[in-house]
Amino acid sequence: MYRFLLSRQWVILTLVSLVLIPVMVELGFWQLHRHQHRVAQNQLIADNLAARPTPVTELTSPGHTVPRADYWRQVTATGTFDTAHEVAVRRRTNADDRVGFHVLTPLVLADGRAVLVNRGWVPAAADQAAFPEVPPAPRGRVTVTGRLMADQTTGASGIRDLSGLPPRQIMLINSAQQAKSLGLALLGGYIEQTAPEPPRGSPELIPEPDHDSIGAHMAYAVQWWLFAAGVPVGWVILVRREKRDRAAASSEEPVAAPESAAV
């Protein structure tokens, strides 16, 4: 009755179905894990942004790798901006998706160590090789408040750390690299400045990271699981249809008439 399942066509169809089911289940769990990761990250961002600002020297030191638990922590630092070692970070966008630069200026602390401060975004010059027009940093002793950020790497950001860039331009904000090139004892990570507000709004301060949206990962997970459940259901439907069609074809075959008896 079901001998047709041993045909080449049905063996291939069955094998493909058996492969698709675990693949779709795994894709559903992948989307579920992405959903859980996004929810956890949103909670981490919200908690760290709401926390009381902490002196940056209590959370990092030269050569320190900022742990994930400290990402976006509110920190403060008091010192003097070293504009002689200021650099521009290429290919960064602002809230309007305009491409420009981030302004990275070391802040020298009272003990001689320094921390990199991302003072915000400025538009690019007409000549991409030229250093952008950057409003001067405040002079004298200043207290900066901002979000503690981890050093950027190609692996984490996807941004290639290109060589041969124009003078005072970089691709990644990395305290270890800047410590070597600038000859400063830099704290690990950097500060994304949120206060004080720059005069005349430039550089543009970097807005808070999005920590409200969670995306459609959970919906995608449910979709993949529904697809996985639909594969065996569809297979059964096709089998029954094939059986019915074969039975109908058999019943329509003409019956051979009996031969006449010899006289």
Instruction: Provide the β-strand partners of residue 121.
Output: 102, 204
If one compares 58 and 212, the residue with the highest pLDDT of the two is: 58
- What's the distance, Cα to Cα, between the start and end of the chain in Å? 42
Which phi and psi (to 5°) does residue 174 adopt?
Answer: -140, 115
- 123-132, pLDDT tens digit by residue? 998 887 889 9
- The torsion defined by the Cα of 35, 41, 44 and 48, in degrees rounded to 10, comes to -150
Distances (CA, A) of 78 to 33, 128, 168, 199, 253: 40, 33, 24, 19, 95
DSSP 180: H
Name the average pLDDT for the chain.
91
d(CA 156, CA 4): 53
Q: Is the pLDDT of residue 198 over 50?
A: yes
CA distance linking residue 125 with residue 77, whole number of Å: 30
Specify the amino acid at residue 121. W
| Structure token digits, residue 79 | 């010192």
Does the structure show a pLDDT above 60 at 262? no
Would you say the C-alpha torsion 155, 156, 157, 158 has a positive or negative sign?
positive
The tokens of 155 are what? 């692996």
Query: CA-CA distance, 144 to 220, in Å (whole number)?
Result: 42
pLDDT exceeds cutoff 60 at 263: no
